[in-house]
Amino acid sequence: MKKILLFASFLLISLNIHTLALEYDGLEKLSKKNTFMDDKGKPYSIDEITDKENSFIIIYNHGSIQDVRVDPCKAKPSFGYIWDGAVVPAILKLHNKEINGLKAKIYRLCSGVKGMTNKNQKKYRNLLKSNGQIEIVDEFKNIKRQNIIFQELKKFQQLGFENIILAGYSAGGWASLNLQSRYPNKIKGTIAFNPAFAGPKNEWQKKFPEWGAFRDQQVDILNNAKSINAILFAHDKDIFEDTETLSFFKKFKDLKFIDYSKLKPTSCKWANSDSNMDAGKGHNIPQSRCFTKFVKENNYLISFLEKSLQ
């Protein structure tokens, strides 16, 4: 069985990030696009939030592309257009909803800085093939994103926002779940849509075994948690992570696992157009109108928030 080892210095970065200043290349530029968003996906300023004590923030985290590239995150993305860092419509619908006396505010965070270079990825691939184990001394993108998200969370707490929920799609969902597992006292709960870490399954399972090893390390962190207060949405036609590869989450009694495989991509229209999705778009269904309707009709998010914000 392949093994993965961690240096103490690497753990220090990810576990004690609140004591460090982040200086990732490109982060300052990306941060200028961070913004609160209303139910139409339109940005607005934090200055418009006048009652912090009676508000709660949902920090939304977008999906990712390859580690060697910066994730797209437009300042004003088209409604529901997840490839530009738009917020999943089901989350936008929560804007200004009152839950247990607290009003929801949606904050879209751009955190997709570059991760590992191709050279470093190949280095780990060769080490894994020759030694059967690797020692991580570099940060891949999802680790950097976890650090950035946690730093942003701390900033909001220092500003007086006591109730923080994390939400995310794909890699953003995975990063949010990881943080929830490690910092349950700082995060009220996590909403994860089609969480994914290491690209398409055929890549991390076969083509790029180093990413399978990186994923194993992430799964170990998650499995070490005593509890994970979260709601997770998964689909069996997702080419990145499906209901089977994510099934290890089911052991957590306080995590609600939603298998929504009954929603077929070809029966769902995109949130920003009248076109139906293609059959292979299981990973993208959270961007669809039918998913937004499905979540609302089943009251999934409201029920989860009512429980988490008690």
pLDDT at position 56 over 80: yes
- Higher-pLDDT residue of 180 and 20 is 180
In a domain, 46, yes or no: yes
Give the amino acid at 273. S
Q: Are 70 and 30 in contact (CB under 8 A)?
A: yes
DSSP labels for 192-259? EES--SSSSHHIIIII-HHHHHHHHHHHHHHHT-S---EEEEE-TT-SSS-TTTTGGGGG-TTEEEEE
Beta bridge partners of 276: 269
pLDDT tens string 83-99: 899 999 999 999 999 99
By percentage, how much of the chain surpasses pLDDT 90?
86
Range 278-293 average pLDDT: 94
In a domain, 218, yes or no: yes
In a domain, 227, yes or no: yes
In a domain, 244, yes or no: yes
Whole-number pLDDT of residue 9: 37
In a domain, 90, yes or no: yes
Range 48-64 average pLDDT: 96
Compute the mean pLDDT over every residue in the chain, rounded to the nearest whole number: 92
Range 58-74 average pLDDT: 97
80 half-sphere exposure, CB direction, 13 A CA radius:
18
In a domain, 190, yes or no: yes
Question: Where are the extended beta strands (E) located within the chain?
Answer: 3-6, 35-37, 43-44, 55-61, 98-99, 102-109, 133-136, 164-169, 189-193, 230-234, 255-259
pLDDT at position 80 over 50: yes
The CATH number given to whatever domain includes residue 189 is: 3.40.50
Whole-number pLDDT of residue 20: 52
In a domain, 153, yes or no: yes
Instruction: Tell me which residue range forms the domain holding 83.
Output: 3-259
pLDDT tens string 156-205: 999 999 999 999 999 999 999 999 999 999 999 999 999 999 999 999 99
Confidence of residue 10 (pLDDT cuts 50, 70, 90): very low
pLDDT tens string 214-245: 999 999 999 999 999 999 999 999 999 999 99
Whole-number pLDDT of residue 248: 98
Whole-number pLDDT of residue 1: 43
Domain count, the chain: 1
Confidence of residue 132 (pLDDT cuts 50, 70, 90): confident
Confidence of residue 74 (pLDDT cuts 50, 70, 90): very high
In a domain, 308, yes or no: no
